[in-house]
Structure 1
């Protein structure tokens, strides 16, 4: 057995032995309780260089923390930021999905794609389809294979391009959506460990995710047309291959076209309404007393409501036009079914919320962040190299834990405060994490949708096995990793904006301790970011 095969077998064995993410969080909570007791007993502490406050480790079994845990358990869950955001958006998105808007719009975009630019249209459609959540896996990927076959191209090349876009390009999109709300919603409470006033909005990575689309699309286009499809060879349909469903090849019906037209009118109406509210004197979406770059923060925070209402209205308009919705009872049923599909996430959110809250109560997050930031600062590594480390850590964990929110809930309380103390904004750290979280999904059999994609492939070639799918997707994963590392490094080096009013560097509000001159060879960039004050030696042992 060659080394590559042994490595894959080892990863598969380790991954299969891991418990459900819920129990991973239970283990983390148990370890956190033990660590908090040790830290409190040994007097671990540090000084927050932003506020000047002394940070001390607190035992999670202290009377105060036990009261927080037991009596405040319902409040801990209710205060978990991602939960409210995701549930709010799902109310609208479930109507749009179940009415058929997402599937029809995706189908219409792919069916009308010219053959010469078929691949990039599949890729962009796949990345935008992230708004449909997991529906993109069961709609875009098999449909991409159908469209390639209809155009006389190898259907497995279309399937590979769709899989690369939907899963490998998970960090990319043209507009913020539920995934942004989920991930950035976890970022905000992690940032509060250092700066309780820090606010993260759903548009915090908007420009970055557009950049991912612009960078990854030509990569998938080149690999699909010049590497993957030639490697697959001429397509000869097997007599044993299952024929794709006829409905997948059918053009849009008159009802579906009418539904899309009505949905488009509803979308334009919502955009016009939000623009009108923003431009009106005394608009709640504008804060005239804030700094110029922060004045539109209320507008950005309103995007959660905007997407929820927009998905609801466009879905309802499509349903009325296409006749897939017959009465208001259908709307209520769709919202109810959408929330029911969230049940696994709500179960996970309960344990993730308590882990995040208990991490905060213990005080270990800021202490670890201050100590780690002091060590990293002493190494004088440039900011791009620091964030590249985040990409690699995210890639590694992605081999074993498929849930992006589960991984980020565990990592954010450590890496977000640590990088804030090094002058890196929470949004930039989040962007680096999201890049790493995307690239390895398509090449690991531990990814939850990998068996489903293999089933889709075997409809066209029954001999196409697990190894065949992995070999097909590895070129995409390798190219995405290299491009992602370059993109993160370039974003920091050029100090590009991550979203409206959001930059690469973090500027602490009114430091309590006077900042010292930055050390030579500190954070690299086109300008010198604000440096945190020197961190005094902690009383905890060096770790």
Structure 2
């Protein structure tokens, strides 16, 4: 990694450099997960020998009923465990949703990239945006991208790297910015998204244990979420400009992998301008089609039972299809206008090229899916979550310290269990009733969960997209590894967690409304 000698390194920069060196000594991500699989197998056998069982209440994800459940460490080396590993080898990979999302997104993104649309859009963004504003724009868009579920990981993060390189800035800083925005603030948005519907429903199920007439709506956290988006936009941009980029220094294009286009962007040519105009026409046409499918009360993409559009509806649940079509249609339209992609055969060739380039990532996801399935089977994460929540539940502290302790526990568990819905199904029946009895509204408990659940996503290797971002980084620096990404993301994780928790505490202390 290239660094600047213009000024001596600070203590923090030297510390992060040390983390990078140590982290990059670890082997290839595939080897890391193979080692982790071996550790989980051995650990499950050792812990399973003690036969510890924990009984708890949880929300059934299908019926939303509060049910009694028990969790005990399950060994992967007994007869049942061996059968599970043998029989689930292929199903583990087939049920790993990150693979399907990645392939679907890349079908459209491949056409947009091959036609030149992505490059032209970046040039246009650079042309119309002041240099200082680019960081804030990408940070804001990255946070908002969570409305499209995991698509932000696949689209926004690599685009942020390209955008930074287009203006002569370090592309790794752009990747770090994009990853921090997409992952570190995943649970908040200025818009209602499908995740909100599930979290709110689980919250209401838990609140009914104390007051059957108490319920919250989809917008119950909208004010706190909207302010959090703006707050985190500034924090992420500030960290990028003041900490990440100065540490990286000037970018040396020689570090890039073979075939990577480097160098600052140029002004738009006449053909690029014409292509963007065609892409706009394609986008308008797509919007019109989806308006016909969603806006009328009889729209087929509305919830067939409730007529709902935002929340639990086919439109929101299948938003990745809209993302794919948006890039596919606009990329093809741009190619027609710019003369780069004309026929259907050209479009198919672009898609095939993008899929071929994902071979390494698909193999990595295959190994990762096995680890996630084995770890889930053993119940190690669930038992740890229940143990920590039990300690916090028995603590004799006031509501605000208890809420802050809850945020810390959620953050710790997020290093092992990254699924927001699965964790809330366990935590909601415990903490929502507990805090309601102390006079805390369920909206505040849900807001606390949002704060604790997000920041660690940017640093845990159990995030399905962590290794993918390492691959993005290696495009611009062949020597980049796990340590490189961890050292880049650590400042974001620490400051987002501390300052966001402080915002939550101030919000609660002032008694501000959490939402509608």
The TM-score with structure 2 as length reference comes to 0.64
Is 1:89 aligned with 2:105? yes
- Equivalents in 2 of 1:212, 1:71: separation in Å? 44
- Equivalents in 2 of 1:327, 1:206: separation in Å? 45
- Equivalents in 1 of 2:245, 2:43: separation in Å? 52
Q: 1:383 aligns with which of 399, 403, 411?
A: 403
Partner of 1:305: 321
Q: 1:123 aligns with which of 120, 136, 144?
A: 136
- Offset at 1:97? 1.7
Question: How many residues get paired?
Answer: 425
8 Å Cα contact 2:186-2:454 kept in structure 1:
no
Question: What SS does structure 2 have at the residue aligned with 1:367?
Answer: helix
Q: Deviations over 1:42-77 (max 9, x none)?
A: 222112312212333322233333233223321221
Closer/same/farther in 2, CA of residues 350 and 165 from structure 1, 3 Å limit: closer
Partner of 1:34: 42
- Equivalents in 1 of 2:277, 2:25: separation in Å? 49
Closer/same/farther in 2, CA of residues 292 and 52 from structure 1, 3 Å limit: farther
- Offset at 1:481? 4.6
- Equivalents in 2 of 1:60, 1:132: separation in Å? 37
Question: What SS does structure 2 have at the residue aligned with 1:266?
Answer: helix
Closer/same/farther in 2, CA of residues 112 and 208 from structure 1, 3 Å limit: same
Q: 2:277 aligns with which of 241, 249, 261?
A: 261
Trace 1:78-477 onto structure 2 (pairs within 5 A).
Answer: 78-113=94-129, 117-125=130-138, 128=141, 132=155, 135-136=158-159, 138-145=161-168, 165-166=177-178, 168-171=180-183, 214-215=230-231, 217-218=233-234, 248=264, 250-287=266-303, 289=305, 296-379=312-395, 381-388=401-408, 419-420=427-428, 422-423=430-431, 432=452, 434-437=454-457
Closer/same/farther in 2, CA of residues 494 and 432 from structure 1, 3 Å limit: same
- Equivalents in 1 of 2:92, 2:389: separation in Å? 29
Question: What SS does structure 1 have at the residue aligned with 2:71?
Answer: strand
Closer/same/farther in 2, CA of residues 373 and 207 from structure 1, 3 Å limit: same
Question: What SS does structure 2 have at the residue aligned with 1:17?
Answer: coil
8 Å Cα contact 1:123-1:162 kept in structure 2:
no
Closer/same/farther in 2, CA of residues 377 and 174 from structure 1, 3 Å limit: closer
Closer/same/farther in 2, CA of residues 20 and 414 from structure 1, 3 Å limit: farther
- Offset at 1:313? 0.9
- Equivalents in 2 of 1:491, 1:452: separation in Å? 38
- Equivalents in 1 of 2:271, 2:351: separation in Å? 23
* Stretches of structure 1 lacking an aligned partner (at least 5 in a row): 146-155, 196-204, 236-244, 395-406, 456-468, 496-522, 529-543
Closer/same/farther in 2, CA of residues 80 and 250 from structure 1, 3 Å limit: closer
Q: Deviations over 1:412-445 (max 9, x none)?
A: 799666544554899975764543455999xxxx
8 Å Cα contact 2:73-2:378 kept in structure 1:
yes
Q: Deviations over 1:1-28 (max 9, x none)?
A: 9965764464244213222222222222
Partner of 2:218: none
8 Å Cα contact 1:33-1:59 kept in structure 2:
yes
- Equivalents in 2 of 1:392, 1:367: separation in Å? 13
8 Å Cα contact 2:117-2:331 kept in structure 1:
yes
- Equivalents in 1 of 2:244, 2:32: separation in Å? 37
Question: What SS does structure 2 have at the residue aligned with 1:49?
Answer: strand
Partner of 1:17: 25
Q: Which moved more, 1:293-302 or 1:81-90?
A: 293-302
Q: Deviations over 1:75-121 (max 9, x none)?
A: 221011211122111111111122111111110121233xxx44114
Closer/same/farther in 2, CA of residues 366 and 306 from structure 1, 3 Å limit: same
- Equivalents in 1 of 2:13, 2:262: separation in Å? 39
- Offset at 1:319? 1.0
- Equivalents in 1 of 2:165, 2:311: separation in Å? 44
Question: What SS does structure 2 have at the residue aligned with 1:60?
Answer: coil
- Equivalents in 2 of 1:175, 1:383: separation in Å? 17
- Equivalents in 1 of 2:17, 2:186: separation in Å? 37
- Offset at 1:323? 1.0
Question: What SS does structure 1 have at the residue aligned with 2:57?
Answer: coil
RMSD: 5.3
Partner of 1:63: 79
- Equivalents in 2 of 1:137, 1:423: separation in Å? 38
- Offset at 1:447? 7.1
8 Å Cα contact 1:119-1:161 kept in structure 2:
no
8 Å Cα contact 1:439-1:480 kept in structure 2:
yes
Is 1:487 aligned with 2:500? yes
- Offset at 1:334? 1.3
Closer/same/farther in 2, CA of residues 253 and 488 from structure 1, 3 Å limit: farther
Q: Deviations over 1:325-370 (max 9, x none)?
A: 0322221121112112222221121122112222232233333322
- Offset at 1:448? 7.1
